[in-house]
Amino acid sequence: MGEHSNDRKQPSRDGSLDSRRVVLDVQDLRVHYATPRGDVIAVNGINFQVYEGETVGLVGESGCGKTTTAMAILRLVQPPGRIIGGRVMVEDTDLVSLSEKQLRQLRWVKLALIPQGAMNSLNPVMRIKDQIGDAITTHEGRLPADALKQRILDLLNQVGLPARVYGMYPHELSGGMKQRVCVAMAIALNPPLIIADEPTSALDVVVQRVVAQTLLDVKQRLGVSMILIGHDMGLQAQLVDRIIVMYAGNIVEIAPVREAFKNPLHPYTQLLIASIPSIKERKPLKVTEGLTHDLRNPPPGCVFQFRCPHAREICRALKPQLREYGSGHLTACHIYENAGEYERSAPIVTTATPSAALYAADLFKEVDPHGRAAS
- Tell me the per-residue pLDDT of 209-242, one tens digit each, with 9 for 90 and over: 888 999 999 999 999 999 999 988 888 998 999 9
Share of the chain above pLDDT 70, in %: 86
**What is the mean predicted confidence (pLDDT) over 168-193?**
94
Q: Per this entry, what is the length of the chain?
A: 375
Q: Considering the entire predicted model, what is its pTM? A: 0.85
Q: Average pLDDT for residues 134-163, to the nearest whole number?
A: 95
At residue 233, the 3 state secondary structure works out as helix
Name the β-bridge partners of 25.
49, 89
CB 156 within 8 A of CB 149: no
Contacts of 347 (CB under 8 A, 6+ apart): 311, 312
CA 97, 102, 107, 108 dihedral sign is negative
Residues 182-200 have a mean pLDDT of: 94
User: 3-class SS at 364?
Assistant: helix
pLDDT (0 to 100) of residue 349: 66
Whole-number pLDDT of residue 30? 98
Average pLDDT over residues 126-143: 94
List the one residue out of 336, 315, 309, 310 whose CA is nearest residue 325.
336
What mean pLDDT do residues 267-288 have?
79
Backbone dihedral angles phi then psi of residue 316, each to the nearest 5 degrees = -80, -25
Backbone angles phi and psi of 179, in degrees to 5? -65, -35
Backbone angles phi, psi at 121, to 5 degrees: -95, -25
Average pLDDT over residues 350-361: 43
pLDDT at residue 278, rounded to an integer:
73
Average pLDDT, the chain: 86
Q: Does residue 267 carry a pLDDT above 90?
A: yes
**Mapping DSSP to helix (H, G, I), strand (E, B) and coil, where does residue 312 land?**
strand
Most confident among 6-15, 75-84, 228-237, 348-357 (mean pLDDT): 75-84
Average pLDDT score over residue span 49-70: 95
**What is the structure's pLDDT at 348?**
81
Q: Does the pLDDT at position 356 exceed 80?
A: no
Tell me what pLDDT residue 285 has: 66
Provide CB contacts within 8 A for 336, sequence distance 6+: 265, 323, 325
Region of poorest pLDDT, from 122-126, 181-185, 198-202: 198-202
pLDDT mean over 72-98: 95
- Where are the extended beta strands (E) located within the chain? 10-11, 17-18, 22-33, 40-51, 55-59, 81-90, 93-94, 111-114, 193-197, 225-230, 242-247, 250-256, 323-324, 330-331
The set of residues, in sequence order, having a beta carbon less than 8 Å from that of 278 and lying 6+ positions away, is none
Assign 291 a pLDDT band (cuts: 50, 70, 90).
confident
Residue type, 107: R
Question: Taking 50 as the threshold, does the pLDDT of residue 270 lie above it?
Answer: yes
